[in-house]
Structure 1
Amino acid sequence: MDAQHDLLDVDHLLDDEERAIRDTARRFAQERLAPHVAEWFEAGTLPARDIAREMGQAGLLGMHLEGYGCAGVSSMAYGLASTELEAVDSGLRSLFSVQGSLAMYSIHAYGSEAQKEQWLPGMAAGTYVGAFGLTEPDHGSNPKGMRTRARNDGGDWILSGSKMWITNGSVADVVVVWAQTDEGVRGFVVPTDTPGFAATDIKQKMSMRASVTSELSLDDVRLPHDAVLPGAQGLRGPLGALNEARFGILFGATGAARSCVETALEYAQSRIQFDRPIAGFQLTQQKLADMSLEHGKALLLAVHLGRLKEAGRLSHAQVSAGKLNNTRVAIEIARTARTVLGANGVSGEYPIMRHANNLESVLTYEGTAEIHTLTIGRALTGISAFI
């Protein structure tokens, strides 16, 4: 936000490099993406591969990873870039997050050197698009129940099963697929041109329409023995990647919130009713004050958690607190901002209803509000209430 609207002067807490990276991401998002996103959302399409290449050229993909063509910037800088992309649209931030913090992170953190060299440089450049296959049609919040299986066959692996709600699925060159094995849950690097792999786009979405969302089918997909990620065994692998992506979400949600606040402020100052701008009415000012305050608090929380992450002190429960709080705040801000615009708030001419619809998904994916609530409860009490 500009100085007038940065009520709590959060910008002061950032260093020069962080501001520079944020501003670069903001220019890219506003100049290359913002002019087209309403059209993409209305049409329910996204030129994902073209956008991935542009993100790669801008140095955004896997930006917080080291080596293999990745920029190696700080966690804070990655979070601020997430904010700027989601200020345009949550679907665009999802493309960025799934590529960098799920698919690339999994290969970077758990993969062999050969896997890293084969995939990461192209993914950082955006010439390869990645996806992350964990959620299944019947198992979302409980990944232990996954039915996708991988079995050994003459030294090869054979994968069978299905995955649901997979961002980038039908445009991906490679998918990190998680499956049950005799050794527990393992991750597999699956090129999408492998026989038996298929991806079908999910239609009739009312949310995240400027995003490619797919169902994956694995019908006896045969992979070589070295397709498995050697550094990940059990659910710690996929959950570790999800924690990286959730960190991006807790920043990203503040971007959607900021867009709604700025839109409401601008509209209220120009909309004339009863011969004066509606910004001059007390009830409108209350809404503007409350939204700005809640956005500022959410951004302060994100910055604090970013500093903890850089210090190596960020816990899973703290990530859950950030994701739960900031998505809740963002969706409430979107709903309130819509009331400032009245009927115009539902028009695609303004971003508010698009953000509100998207945030319904952001509230749910990568850990529902209920799951993050129970994660916090377990951290507070030492008692698990998941089962």
Structure 2
Amino acid sequence: MRSHRVSITPTDNTPLPQSVGEAAKLLGQAISQVQRVIVGQEHMVQQLMVALLAKGHCLLEGVPGVAKTLAVRSFATVVGGDFARVQFTPDLVPSDIVGTRIYSAKAETFEIELGPIFVNFVLADEINRAPAKVQSAMLEIMAEKQVSIGGKTYPAPKPFIVIATQNPVESEGVYPLPEAQRDRFLVKVDVPYPRGNEELEILRRMSVTPPEADRVLDPQVVRHLQDMASNVFVHNLVAEYIVRLVLASRNPADFDMPDLAGVIQIGCSPRATLGLVAAARALALINGRDYVLPTDVQAVAKDVMAHRIVLGFDAVADNINPTDVVDRILAMVPAPTPVWNKEQRQASHQQHAHQPGRA
């Protein structure tokens, strides 16, 4: 196992944003600092911020060399706090990451040595190379935000986020993540190859002294932004839309998609419902709004839902992608048109006044 731990000490106290506009401006500065280093991959960088604001974890999947590790390292620098990178290998044991009891001959007693994951940001590099026992240990810290060692519980620091990477093309020496482990990740982001113009910019930018990101936030500001995100308003129509999307993944025939009944073996869990709300709220805050639109839900739906859908054997054999299934669900489940202000409400009443039979 190789681990690398960095403590990023704030040089000044960043003022807490008091309005949604101030929060959006601060988050925009943080995202732009990451993209000083990372060429392209705007969606990945945005989803990292969404996962942080929603108090969730993020799984990045892509072939080697597409800047997954560099993006996470730059993101941790911009956000501030403690950062640790753990390279997962097949010979890891749980105590390598969570810690263990060590006998102290001087004190003639056992002392607890905490592992490298007790930081604000954990980069679990190639998490699918770790054996099942290590993955179960990661499951506890991700789900409960705490670890039990020697009968005593040690809480994780706040904020706490696990950003894991995995390589989808290798099969030797790999332990695929079980469904329960994947479900603990709020979002799973597929990281593609850069486009041609981005590849040229990578060559230009990285062939000399690479740029470095500057710190914009600190843990106290992050906790405040997380509280602001959790208070973003969700209209009842939007909440019902989220529920319908999840239900459509479980019973597609009820939503005029009988052909998907044989494709989907297991639909999304209730954790996906909560994840859609949390991620949509975070995206709304990033976009400078204190309310969620259906477009926010649609923008995060694939990253929140796709890795929670288990396809049947025939669908896997036919190379059907879960993201295509989510696209189909988004296309078939109609989005609502919430009424946000008095003028829109009056216009809606006038439009439907002559249609008394309309629901």
- Shorter-chain TM range is under 0.3
Q: Which has the higher contact order (CA 8 A, sep 6+)?
A: 2
Kindly indicate which of the two structures has a greater share of residues assigned to helix.
1
Answer with 1 or 2: which has the greater Rg: 2
